[in-house]
Structure 1
Amino acid sequence: MDDKEVLHRYLRRRREDLLAKLNGLSDYDARRPLTPTGTNLLGLVKHVASVELGYFGEVFGRSSGRDLPWFDDDAAPEADLWLTAEETREDIIELHHFSAAHTDATIAALPLDAVGEVPWWSEERRRVTLQQILVHMCVETAQHVGHADILRELLDGATGRGPEDPNMPQRTAEEWAQHWERVETAARRATATPPTD
């Protein structure tokens, strides 16, 4: 497997991980804000799909032809990170698949040293290669999968890739509560912070 195939495989896997965070959730739970800054699961999928279209489309002169109104000058703040009432879960999943197919076509068509330009980056950083953008999107997607992991855990306790994930210990709710208490106790002892009620 060459370097391009390795990077592409990682990107595809992280995309799958992100989309899987929606499985089994109600529409409300998939789109509702779960942090003070409004972070939500469908918004993360929308954002990643949208920026991927830019990085593997516009940057390399391979327009997808897809209009993304949430990037218009008159769009609501951070409109690529949340859904309006009119946007549906199905719209965002379709966008995710469309974006992935467009990206995959760009990766297949270009060598790793193909040169592009990121117009929204500073002048001195603007000139890039496909390899740089592949690494950038692997990292960005993985970062958002991490956000999604935490959001999903907050919603229903689901962690990692599910029960079959070898990287996640399988514990009962009681065992997790004991683990949480162990971590909390260590933090308090290390900082001499008294418990709050």
Structure 2
Amino acid sequence: MTHPDIKTRLHEYLVYGREALLWKLEGLSEYDLRRPMTPTGTNLLGLVKHLAGTESVYFGLVFGRPFPEDLPWMGEHAETNADMWATPDESRAEILALYERVRAFTDAAIADLPMDATGRVPWWPEERANVTLGQILVHVAMETHRHAGHADVVRELIDGAVGMRVGRENMPETDPNWWADYRNKLEEAAKTAAASS
């Protein structure tokens, strides 16, 4: 049995995370894509914008191969959290197209560089700033899956859509009544535990 090399496997995990995130935007209105769904403002289009910026710097600047487009919201003097939301003049199509270009840029860097290629993350603490492609691939894949998880929760709050992929491949095959009963069971368990503590 042959196994894919670790670089291929890590790249696959990054791709899976991207796909999980992107399907969370499908079929939603402009408002639902942008509206803040948590007290800290988490929103779906902002997560995509953030990850576009993240990939552009980690696979570009860090390895001396800057992304060829200026992303002012990733600059040193950008407004705090400017990468976490879409302004009214930034369209869904523009942000998704940017993410597509950044993904192609990242994929080329992963293909071109060996796993032990060295880079430097200037915003990390000095003792960890020198990195390899392997470390950055793990870091960005984890970051992507983390934000795909945020998107899971946000999308469920918007319209109840859940799961890793279209068709809910990683969710139990049940109906809404089952989920309501399940949630009620958890609520009762929480109340019982709180009362006995």
TM-score class, shorter:
over 0.9
CA deviation after TM superposition for structure 1 residue 120, in Å: 0.9
Structure 1 alignment gaps of length 5 or more: none
1:108 lines up with 2:116 in the alignment = no
1:155 lines up with 2:154 in the alignment = no
Q: For residue 172 of structure 1, what is the amino acid of its counterpart? A: D
Residue in 1 that maps onto 2:39: 36
Q: CA 1:41 to 1:185, structure 2 compared with 1: closer, same or farther past 3 Å?
A: same
Structure 2 alignment gaps of length 5 or more: none
- How far, CA to CA, are the matches of 1:162 and 1:102 in structure 2? 24
Match for residue 2 of structure 1 among 2, 5, 11: 5
1:69 lines up with 2:78 in the alignment = no
Q: For residue 184 of structure 2, what is the amino acid of its counterpart? A: E
- Whether the aligned pair in 2 keeps the contact of 1:57 and 1:63 (CA below 8 Å) is yes
Residue in 2 that maps onto 1:94: 97
TM-score normalised by length of structure 1: 0.94
- How far, CA to CA, are the matches of 1:116 and 1:49 in structure 2? 19
The alignment-based identity, stated in percent, is: 54
- Whether the aligned pair in 1 keeps the contact of 2:33 and 2:45 (CA below 8 Å) is yes
Q: For residue 74 of structure 2, what is the amino acid of its counterpart? A: F
Q: CA 1:40 to 1:46, structure 2 compared with 1: closer, same or farther past 3 Å?
A: same
Q: CA 1:65 to 1:163, structure 2 compared with 1: closer, same or farther past 3 Å?
A: closer
- How far, CA to CA, are the matches of 2:114 and 2:75 in structure 1? 31
- How far, CA to CA, are the matches of 2:36 and 2:7 in structure 1? 36
Q: CA 1:137 to 1:25, structure 2 compared with 1: closer, same or farther past 3 Å?
A: same
Residue in 2 that maps onto 1:85: 88
Residue deviations 1:9-68 (CA, integer Å, cap 9, x gap): 110111111111100100110011111111100000100111110000000011111111
What is the Cα-based RMSD across aligned positions, in Å?
Answer: 1.3
- How far, CA to CA, are the matches of 1:163 and 1:72 in structure 2? 35
- Whether the aligned pair in 2 keeps the contact of 1:163 and 1:170 (CA below 8 Å) is no
Residue in 1 that maps onto 2:137: 134
